[in-house]
């Protein structure tokens, strides 16, 4: 007899029988089980001095690897913590900060080490566009700092080649068109 895989509905039905102490014990066990769970709970509840630090550490590892230790970069692995943060927490300001951190690191690594990978630069342009879109959803008073950082990223990115400068300009023009609508 084949059994079906448990779903959220099954878990939810079981949790209905838990009291407060049982739920706290379960969350404590989850917290202790994995660093990812800890990062999730810290970010979700805004705990610690920098809830974005674990997400930034993953981006840093995958966008600025230790080439002397034969580490490689990975765009997919660097984008994952941003997607995780968006799904887990969803705070647009934190999301914008992570996206801008990604852009800075991609540019910094490619400038320092030299990257010849069109997909790497296409992902950078896309992330810049997503960061700009996210920043523009923030209240106007919170945008200024992020827009200044993005202007700096744009200025540095013009020197990379691979269409990065024009890609950044296109992203700005697209956002300008959307705002004009």
CA distance 157 to 160: 5
Tens digits of pLDDT across the chain (181 residues) = 456 888 888 888 888 888 888 787 887 888 888 877 777 787 777 776 677 888 999 999 999 988 889 899 999 999 999 999 998 888 899 999 999 999 999 999 998 888 888 899 999 999 999 999 999 999 989 998 999 899 889 888 888 877 888 888 888 777 765 554 4
Residues 70 and 138 in one domain: yes
> Which value, in Å, is the radius of gyration of the alpha carbons in the chain?
20
Residues 45 and 57 in one domain: no
> Containing domain of residue 122, as a range?
52-180
The token pair that represents 71 in the structure block: 């580490």
Is 2 contained in some domain?
Answer: no
DSSP 116-168: --HHHHHHHHHHHHHHHHHHTTS-HHHHHHHHHHHHHHHHHHTTS-TTHHHHH
Residues 88 and 173 in one domain: yes
pTM: 0.76
Residues 87 and 121 in one domain: yes
Is 1 contained in some domain?
Answer: no
> Does residue 153 contact residue 107 with C-beta atoms inside 8 Å?
yes
Is 4 contained in some domain?
Answer: no
CA distance 80 to 71: 18
Quote the distance between the C-alpha of residue 77 and its chain's center: 10
């Amino acid at each position: 007899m084949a059994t079906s895989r448990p779903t959220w509905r099954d878990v939810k039905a079981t949790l209905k029988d838990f009291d407060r102490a049982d739920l706290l014990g379960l969350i404590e066990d989850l917290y202790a089980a994995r660093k990812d769970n800890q990062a999730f709970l810290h970010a979700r509840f805004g705990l610690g001095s920098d809830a974005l630090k674990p997400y930034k550490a993953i981006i840093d590892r995958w966008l600025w690897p230790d080439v002397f230790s034969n580490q490689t970069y990975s765009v997919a692995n660097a984008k994952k913590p941003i997607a995780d943060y968006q799904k887990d927490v969803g705070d647009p300001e934190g999301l914008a900060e992570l996206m801008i951190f990604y852009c800075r690191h991609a540019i910094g690594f490619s400038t320092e080490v030299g990257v010849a990978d069109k997909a790497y630069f296409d992902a950078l342009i896309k992330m810049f566009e997503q960061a700009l879109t996210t920043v523009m959803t923030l209240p106007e008073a919170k945008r200024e700092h992020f827009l200044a950082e993005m202007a700096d990223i744009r200025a540095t990115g013009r020197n990379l080649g691979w269409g990065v400068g024009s890609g950044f300009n296109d992203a700005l023009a697209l956002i300008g068109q959307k705002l004009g609508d």
